[in-house]
Amino acid sequence: MNNKISITAFSSISPLGNSAEEVWKNYLDNEHCFSKQFLDQQETFVAALGAESKKIVAEVRESDIKYKFLDNSVLFALAASRKAVEQAGWSKSDVFGINIGSSRGATDLFEKHYKEYLDTGKAQTLASPTTTLGNISSWIAHDLQSVGPEISHSITCSTALHALLNGVAWLKSGMSDKFLIGGSEAPLTDFTIAQMRALKIYSRINKEDEAWPNLAFDFEKTQNTMVLGEGAGICCLESGEKENAIAYVTGVGFATEILEHNISISAEADCFQKSMKMALQDVDLNSVDAIVMHAPGTIKGDLTELRAIEKVFGSQLPLLTTNKWKIGHTFGASGMLSLELALLMLQHDKFIEVPFAKEKQQTRPLKKILINAVGFGGNAVSILIEKP
């Protein structure tokens, strides 16, 4: 990239909390955020929002009569967007674009409306507008009274980082000076869990394995251990180097896998190799201090990404980590919550390792971190961020 893009604010709402201080504190405790819920007709591990975060979401719902019937995926994004814009110091007179994506969109609301239709043969009046995927960014634009472009999209689990790619493209084109980007997901529903079980990738409850339900980053596991989580992550991007920048985006990469199956990925994750190489053009690989891996907790997903990293970096690997052992896979929001971990590690100059993995020692200050995301369809994205 010829010029830097500033990240001037970041806000999230997730099982880790709803403030940077709370999120960082929870990353330091080496405990996962999973609980058991009765879904898909059986007890299931999930990572749900805590009581305080649920209270914030309820307050957002009550803040406008039109929000009463919105899906949680929209409400999560609204809560995080309000805080991000406030932190960045943006005002209603500022012109900024919005690109917030979601892998599945209004999951809970859609399933409820569809069940009602099957039961009664009738659809509710608001069934369509409140479950249309594009309604996330439009509701945020309404809430913030913004006047710039508004875009929503779904590119499976790499959705949030594709939003970042799009924001960077708008800023570098000169068509916008500021962009609000992110991802939001509320997938903790019976049908969604059942789909993951059908793919045989969801974590099973075994008494001996409950200490670590999601073994993301365990490259010798013998069963898939993905667990779903919910939440949203929102980021403010601005052109150039800003005084209030918390980090710079200095490299972006993307690639698509040539598929042999609907959810397949090659043995050495060719898409990740290509996306990382693109993000790291003209970058000394030895200067990359850490990588926040996508690593969803599946046997093949974790291992193929590791193989791709080894192909790109050789024997001198950066520090490697992931957050899915702690908060699960939040689908379309996951890349943005991985970015949050990277931003916090830069801010505190402390590497957060996976507690059940082989210990890695941080031997130098953290200055550059790479973030990976990929989804069904092999849509990989890699983002390089740098400390100001």
- Token pair listed for 95: 């012109």
- Token pair listed for 263: 């959810």
Considering the entire predicted model, what is its pTM?
0.96
- Tokens 């805080």 belong to which residue? 83
Tens digits of residue pLDDT in 357-372: 988 889 999 999 999 9
What is residue 93's predicted lDDT score, i.e. its pLDDT?
A: 83
What is residue 275's predicted lDDT score, i.e. its pLDDT?
A: 97
69 contacts 135 by C-beta, under 8 angstroms: no
Q: What whole-number distance in Å separates Cα of residue 170 and Cα of residue 154?
A: 18
| CA-wise closest residue to 385 among 84, 88, 7 | 7
Q: What whole-number distance in Å separates Cα of residue 165 and Cα of residue 205?
A: 37
377 contacts 156 by C-beta, under 8 angstroms: yes
pLDDT at 305 exceeding the cut of 50: yes
Give the residues across from 329 on adjacent strands.
228
14 contacts 229 by C-beta, under 8 angstroms: yes
70 contacts 154 by C-beta, under 8 angstroms: no
pLDDT at 27 exceeding the cut of 80: yes
Question: ∠ at Cα 244 (241, 250), nearest 5°?
Answer: 35
Q: What whole-number distance in Å separates Cα of residue 382 and Cα of residue 342?
A: 13
Domains delineated in the chain: 5-239 (3.40.47.10), 247-386 (3.40.47.10)
Q: In 223-244, which positions are buried (b, 16+ CB within 10 angstroms) versus exposed (e)?
A: ebbbbbbbbbbbbbbbbeebee
What is residue 277's predicted lDDT score, i.e. its pLDDT?
A: 98
| CA-wise closest residue to 329 among 17, 19, 52, 33 | 33
Please compute, for residue 344, the number of CA atoms within 13 A of its CA located in the half-sphere on the CB side. Answer: 23
Greater confidence, 182 or 133? 182
DSSP structural state of residue 117: H
Task: Give the count of beta carbons closer than 10 Å to the beta carbon of residue 31.
Answer: 11
User: Where is average pLDDT lowest: 129-133, 134-138, 263-267, 305-309?
Assistant: 263-267
CB-count burial class (<10 Å; 0-12, 13-18, 19+) for 364: exposed
- For the CA atoms of 77, 57, 214, 360, the dihedral, rounded to the nearest 10 degrees, stands at 70
298 contacts 196 by C-beta, under 8 angstroms: no
pLDDT at 153 exceeding the cut of 80: yes
Q: What whole-number distance in Å separates Cα of residue 311 and Cα of residue 85?
A: 39
Please compute, for residue 347, the number of CA atoms within 13 A of its CA located in the half-sphere on the CB side. Answer: 17
Question: What single string gives the DSSP state of each residue in 275-287?
Answer: HHHHHTTT--GGG
**Residue 291, SS3 per DSSP:** strand
Q: What is the chain's mean pLDDT, rounded?
A: 93
Given pLDDT bands bounded at 50, 70 and 90, which one contains residue 208?
low
pLDDT at 41 exceeding the cut of 90: no
239 contacts 177 by C-beta, under 8 angstroms: yes
**Residue 182, SS3 per DSSP:** strand
- Tokens 């007179």 belong to which residue? 93
Q: What whole-number distance in Å separates Cα of residue 261 and Cα of residue 300?
A: 14
Question: What single string gives the DSSP state of each residue in 141-164?
Answer: HHHHT--S-EE---BTBTHHHHHH
Q: What whole-number distance in Å separates Cα of residue 334 and Cα of residue 323?
A: 9
What is residue 283's predicted lDDT score, i.e. its pLDDT?
A: 96
Gyration radius of the chain over CA positions: 20
Give, to the nearest 10 degrees, the angle between helix 72-88 and helix 51-62: 90
Tens digits of residue pLDDT in 219-255: 999 999 999 999 999 999 999 999 999 999 999 999 9
- Token pair listed for 230: 């919910």
